[in-house]
A = this chain, B = another copy of it.
Amino acid sequence: MDEGGRFGTTRVGAKCGRWNPTAEQVKVLTDLFRSGLRTPSTDQIQTISSHLSSFGKIESKNVFYWFQNHKARERHHKKRRRGGAGGGGGGGEDHLLLVPEKRGARTRSLPSNDDSRKREEEVMWEERQRGIETLELFPLKSYDLAAEKRRSMRNGCEEAGFLEAGMDPPLDLNLSFL
């Protein structure tokens, strides 16, 4: 059937688990995207979400994920371009007035002139790596916890399946090693 079922607040598959954008919401989001907006700031997300809430339930994270996904897929979507299905509804005519968001204007407003606060945390990690790499090989201490578990695979991608099957993990959360 056509996607006509998802109009207004009467969406066919509108369950509670997952946000199902209405056609209007998608349209606005798409317009914003086509206008150049790719990574909205927190403030913009809030604003967009508030305005889009008039068309149905929506949260800020939905807007955040939408742009995140749309941007990521727009780039990797050049190969298998297929008809718009699912939420790709659309079809509508409306003009959009959007002011182009300047890149770099985030909520955090990182001052560009303040270079003194330029802490090199990357270096921090690099230094950490150096120390860890040389330490990770030899045993640190003795843990009774290590003897508790009998892991079957330490090498390879597939882990064991004794965890989530419904049984409790064989370990007791004794984290006193810290």
Question: Taking the complex as formed, is A84 at the interface, i.e. its CB lies under 8 A from any CB of chain B?
Answer: yes
A160 x B9 contact (CB < 8 A): yes
> How many copies of the shown chain assemble into the complex?
2
User: Looking across the interface, which residue of chain B has its beta carbon closest to that of A119?
Assistant: B121
Which A residues between 48 and 63 are near B, CB-CB below 8 angstroms?
Answer: 48-51, 53-57, 59-61
In the bound complex, residues from chain B placing their C-beta under 8 Å from that of A176 are 97-99
| A59 CA / B49 CA spacing, docked (Å) | 36
In the bound complex, residues from chain B placing their C-beta under 8 Å from that of A57 are 154-156, 159-160, 163
Question: Taking the complex as formed, is A165 at the interface, i.e. its CB lies under 8 A from any CB of chain B?
Answer: yes
Question: Taking the complex as formed, is A135 at the interface, i.e. its CB lies under 8 A from any CB of chain B?
Answer: yes
Which 5 residue pairs of A and B lie closest in terms of their CB atoms, listed nearest first? A61-B80, A9-B163, A54-B169, A16-B157, A17-B84
